[in-house]
């Protein structure tokens, strides 16, 4: 079931997101950043700030009362920004990510926004290919990777963001 996250979900979401992106546990899935970056992906405090911010939607995918997926959506003037798409590493490739993408499209439609935009680390070819298969296109725009406190690059390859976009028709 996909529903809006609450402050009470922040600790569980933080644990899930960090386990899916960084550290040894993330290597059980195919979307890991563990070979690229060291550090914490997010914190409980950051998630509380997101959950309580206007125009921010943090959706959670729950099964058997456990959060196993999530996605951050931010309504902007002309588009919906999609970030931090997360699925428990053990459950990746089971359709949960696609369901979260569909929930994002439904929210965009409710908000009358005809585009969804996201950023993906450019060297993550397999992940980029997955988004392309799901209708996202490379806009040609690039942004520097926003290293956070404690983030450390583990690769000599540049970590820039590719901006992807999906145009929606309602």
Q: What is the pLDDT of residues 50-89, one digit of tens each?
A: 999 999 999 999 999 999 999 999 999 999 999 999 999 9
Structure tokens belonging to residue 54: 């206007």
What residue spans define the domains of the chain?
A: 2-167
Class of domain 2-167: alpha beta
- The model's pTM is 0.93
Q: How far apart are the first and last CA of the chain?
A: 24
The answer to whether residue 38 scores a pLDDT higher than 90 is no
What whole-number distance in Å separates Cα of residue 1 and Cα of residue 12?
16
Contacts of 4 (CB under 8 A, 6+ apart): 57, 58, 59, 60
């Amino acid at each position: 079931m996909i529903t809006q996250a609450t402050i009470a979900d922040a600790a569980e979401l933080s644990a899930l997101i960090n386990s899916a992106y960084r550290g040894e546990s993330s290597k059980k899935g195919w979307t890991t950043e563990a070979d690229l970056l060291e550090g914490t992906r997010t914190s409980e405090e950051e998630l509380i700030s997101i959950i309580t911010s206007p125009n921010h939607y943090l959706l959670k995918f729950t099964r058997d009362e456990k959060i196993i997926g999530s996605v951050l959506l931010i309504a902007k003037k002309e588009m919906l920004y999609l970030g931090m798409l997360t699925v428990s590493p053990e459950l990746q490739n089971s359709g949960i990510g696609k369901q979260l993408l569909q929930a994002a499209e439904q929210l965009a439609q409710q908000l009358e926004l005809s585009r969804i935009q996201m950023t993906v680390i450019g060297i993550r070819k397999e992940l980029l290919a997955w988004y392309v298969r799901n209708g996202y296109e490379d806009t040609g725009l690039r942004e520097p990777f926003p290293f956070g406190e404690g983030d450390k690059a583990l690769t000599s390859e540049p970590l820039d963001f590719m901006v992807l976009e999906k145009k929606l028709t309602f």
